[in-house]
Amino acid sequence: LMAPSHVLKCCQRVLAWVPVVFIALVVAWSYYAYVVELCVFIYLVIFHLSFVMFAWSYWKTIFTFPASPSNEVNKSFKVLILNLCISYLDFEIFNIAIRYCDRCQLIKPDRCHHCSACDLCVLKMDHHCPWVNNCVGFSNYKFFLLFLFYSLLYCLFVAATVLQYFIKFWTNELPDTRAKFHVLFLFFVAAMFFISILSLFSYHCWLVGKNRSTIEAFRAPMFRNGPDKNGFSLGCQKNLREVFGDEKKYWLLPIFTSVGPQDPSTLLHSVAPAFREPTPSAAAHPYSGVTFSHARTPACTSECPPTTLSIYSIHTVTSLLTWNSHFFLLNNPHRWLLIGNVIM
């Protein structure tokens, strides 16, 4: 007889933590081997600094819940906004296709994808990482990059400082002690992880410079002029700020500073042109909290007619809403974007 589905799901959830536990055990052993067995005092300050930053970034990557449009639906505000749009806006939709998630039953924002492992739609999803048992996306991509960066420094520092003892033990210049095994194995493990992490970190640095996710690197998003892998790129400097934020003093700290749904003014590049200018009657609507401004997306070229996006300044709305027809709204405590979809 087949086991009940909930039992299988429990087993899958438990097994998903195996890679995380493995990494935790390796790190714990490396700490013991370096601090207890090697115990070179002059190295300990730098070692502990890199260890703490690595552990902090790793923790944040694992336990930061992926941002999902399905998690913050507020029905009362949904009715308010949709009634406002239907009653007072004269718009037409440039419909390439509707990106609809049958599983979550919602319109997926641009760069949002459904993760079968997490069973939810993840904003600006990059990939599902088994080593952190979590989806890497908008809410924790910065933490993931810092995790790679500090693990790279950690492995490099350990390998570099252990190398001299590794050579002495290998050439029998030092007597055989209990530390010999730990030192020899520690060097091999640190060097192996350094090489593997270096390639992964270099690849993600390249993705950040291009403002691409791993998914978009393999399958270009579709814009009105066709597929374009560089459709979301704003230039290297602005691409970096989308991930790490505007305050450079926080770039190396695993603190959330990414630019995204909390700041639609810098997200305009990521949406397909969808709407015409609002009519005068709409712009003059007595709702004092509603204003309009417009921007052109990088998906448009000189051959494309200028198109605009409507930005609503509604300070009381704080939920991310979806509408199962032709458009969706991205959240921010101060403004709302009424935006169309691109094919992914």
Report the greatest alpha carbon distance in the chain.
88
- Least reliable range by pLDDT among 59-73, 125-139, 283-297: 283-297
Which residues, 6+ apart, have CB-to-CB distance to 263 below 8 Å? Answer: 332
How far is residue 68 from each of residues 111, 123, 312, 316, measured CA to CA in Å? 11, 6, 21, 21
Alpha-carbon Rg for the chain, nearest whole angstrom, is: 25
The pLDDT of residue 205 is: 97
Distance CA 251, CA 150 (A): 13
The answer to whether 233 touches 196, Cβ cutoff 8 Å, is no
Task: List, by residue number, the catalytic residues.
Answer: 129
Helix, strand, coil content of the chain in percent (nearest 5): 45, 10, 45
- Counting residues of the chain whose pLDDT is more than 70, the rounded percentage is 63
Buried b (16+ CB within 10 A) or exposed e, 86-120: eebbebeeeeeebbebeebebbbbbbbbbbeebeb
Distance CA 183, CA 187 (A): 6
Distance CA 309, CA 340 (A): 9
| DSSP-assigned letter for residue 140 | T
- Which carries the bigger pLDDT value, residue 74 or residue 191? 191
| 107-162: pLDDT as tens digits | 777 888 999 898 889 989 999 999 999 999 999 999 999 999 999 999 999 999 88
Residue 36 has pLDDT above 80, yes or no: no
Q: How far is CA 305 from the centre of its chain?
A: 32
Token code pair at residue 315: 């300070």
The pLDDT of residue 220 is: 87
Give the dihedral sign, CA 91/304/259/210: positive
Mean pLDDT of 300-328: 33
- Which carries the bigger pLDDT value, residue 198 or residue 276? 198
Distance CA 21, CA 331 (A): 35
